[in-house]
Chains A and B, each alone.
Chain A
Amino acid sequence: MLACSSGCGQMQNMEQSDGDGSLAQVRHVVLVLSGKGGVGKSTITTELALALRQAGKRVGILDVDLCGPSIPRMLSVGRPDVHQCDSGWVPVYTDAQKSLALMSIGFLLEDPDEAIVWRGPKKTALIGQFVSDVAWGELDVLLVDTPPGTSDEHLAVLENLKKHRVDGAVLVTTPQAVSTGDVRREITFCNKTGVRILGIIENMSGFVCPHCSECSNIFSKGGGEELAKLTGSVFLGSVPLDPLLSASVEEGKDFTQLFPNSATFSVISKISQTLLNSLQTA
């Protein structure tokens, strides 16, 4: 505030010299979007990150869901203290090899149960600062997990990441029409904001009863693929509704290591491979 009236010029200079410093060594930036809430954006982000890491990549996750940051729990990192270095916030590493880095807006907040009741402009300001201030270091892929919708957070993320470069977005939907309807709007959002759609993932796609192996399509079936056809997007795959997967993210365990032979993992791993190929060929 006071800095503003006295040292604005100086601050601007600083920003310019920073440029996109914190993202300079990040090869690919991928947004995970969905118009609908609760379809598994955070779960898919987490699992994709774990699968990419297993493929030998250095991965970062940026969690910008202010009202409901879930990733720290899913990776069981708790609430670590976040440190600052000369080049910005130091992300939290989930392993000793520093192959999976996480920065959640949840880390910066005092009390995890506290409601963040902020209107848009304040969110925009914090996200803007947050996105450009993380010292990611060298990364192959940075996944950005977003809240549902097409509003302040999304615009803020885009505005700030675009200074660098955004490779594109992965859209997550569940199979029902109620969900694909919202994701159609998200596609329009991407088109309007010039974000390439890397593909659509259908989550919660069918449930195989552990007792009798009967497959029930609890949230219907095929909506994601249909949507991909309708909009001319790539369909990346269907992730089944797997209680082992929901239990893993609940407890913050690495599903990709616990159940490497499951059908669910093979789908996730295939999706991550397709994604990687499309990033590298683009």
Chain B
Amino acid sequence: THFCCYLFITPPRTRTKPRTCQHTDECLVFADCPGTTSEQAGKSASCQGCPNQKLCASGATKAPDPAIAEIGQKLSTVKHKILVLSGKGGVGKSTFSAHLAHALASDSSKEVALLDVDICGPSIPRIMGLEGEQVHQSGSGWSPVYVEDNLAVMSVGFLLSSPDDAVIWRGPKKNGMIKQFLRDVDWGELDYLIIDTPPGTSDEHLSVVQYLSSTHVDGAVIITTPQEVSLQDVRKEIRFCQKVTLPIIGVVENMSGFVCPKCKNTSLIFPPTSGGAEQMCTDLNLPLLGKVPLDPRIARSCDEGKSFLNEIPDSPAAEVYQRIVQSKC
């Protein structure tokens, strides 16, 4: 399967012709483009005058990317693959991914890997305490960075030379990087591969799903915060999963309430005005995996690159995390 963006277009309400022609080798933006993989590619009336017409007509664009099969082969030894998604930024995707990895790796008989495909905002190196680490090239590909013997991490952050380096990349280049992460990293045999994603439903997400299409993916864990402003974006992410037929393992509500360390009263800092994740899960018939309370010690652990689950194992938030991991993975 090749996911051309065209397949997912919601037509703008008022159609206007693009003022200027914009093309890349990846996709076309014409309202009437039949899609690069369609039978009509390069042949329909709207293809006349398109600079990519010849390429489309030749059939080359219909052939699947050979990397998909290579990745399928490479990851055939990975038992479980889990994506962590959210339509909204800053809801705790990376925090959850990191702690899921820590929790799974606490069983020393399991091999766990964490892949960060947030190309423009990689937070995983810091959260895992690996800032400044570099990736090494070996005969069998890029070697990931190890936090523990059974916990490997890969992120674009390991390829940058300074914390100020910005990755100002457009979509196709980000996709190339993701392809390399999946195909060229020497993961070895794994029980779990956890993939942390950036917010949204764009290049990174399509690419991951596309590149993993010849292997089995267990599904996605969706992270949200309780407010409607966040849920409205998360619903879109759920639609995305349905469109690309990615199973949803469940939803985690993060930053669910804050217990004042002094008076022990709970404040709903991010108010669930529309019923929070609970209502959304009921509406959409999805399992709610748990509600993680806001705890300042989580943010601190992440900043210091330590596992909150090891730091304060008896806290309510750590217990919720453990319960989610035990129940689903």
Contacts and interface: CB of A to CB of B under 8 A. Distances in A.
Interface of A: 1-5, 11, 15, 35-39, 42, 66-68, 70, 73-74, 81-82, 84, 107-126, 128-129, 147-152, 154-155, 174, 176-179, 181-182, 184-189, 192-193, 207, 209-212, 214, 216-220, 241, 243, 246-247, 249-251
Interface string B214-238: 0000000000010111101101110
Contact of B236 (A5, A114, A193): A114
A115 B14 contact: no
A272 to B, nearest CB: 21
13 contacts: A1-B48, A11-B19, A36-B121, A68-B87, A112-B232, A117-B206, A119-B206, A121-B171, A124-B170, A148-B121, A181-B123, A218-B296, A250-B228
Interface residue SS majority, chain B: loop
Contact of B299 (A70, A189, A220): A220
Contacts of A35: 120-121, 166
A212 B10 contact: no
Interface of B: 5, 8-14, 16-24, 26-27, 29-32, 45-46, 48-50, 87-91, 94, 119-121, 123, 126-127, 163-172, 174, 198-203, 205-206, 225, 227-230, 232-233, 235-237, 239-240, 243, 258, 260-263, 265, 267-271, 273, 294, 296, 299-300, 302-303
Given A5-B49, A176-B303, A207-B269, A185 B167 contact: yes
Nearest to B127: A178
A220 B303 contact: yes
Contacts of A241: 269
Nearest to B25: A121
Nearest to B296: A218
A149 B167 CA distance: 9
A115 B90 contact: no
Contacts of B235: 113
Nearest to A120: B171
Contacts of B202: 66-67, 117-120, 123
B7 to A, nearest CB: 8
Contacts of A81: 13
Contacts of B201: 67, 115-117
A118 B273 CA distance: 30
B89 A148 contact: yes
Nearest to B199: A37
Given A11-B19, A155-B168, A209-B265, A177 B126 contact: yes
Enumerate the 6 nearest inter-chain pairs by beta-carbon distance, A residue then B residue, closest first: A37-B89, A38-B90, A120-B171, A5-B49, A67-B200, A149-B120
A4 B49 contact: yes
B164 A246 contact: no
B168 A122 contact: no
A187 B164 contact: yes
Given A4-B21, A148-B199, A117 B90 contact: no
A272 B300 CA distance: 30
A124 B19 CA distance: 12
Contact of B163 (A38, A114, A181): A181
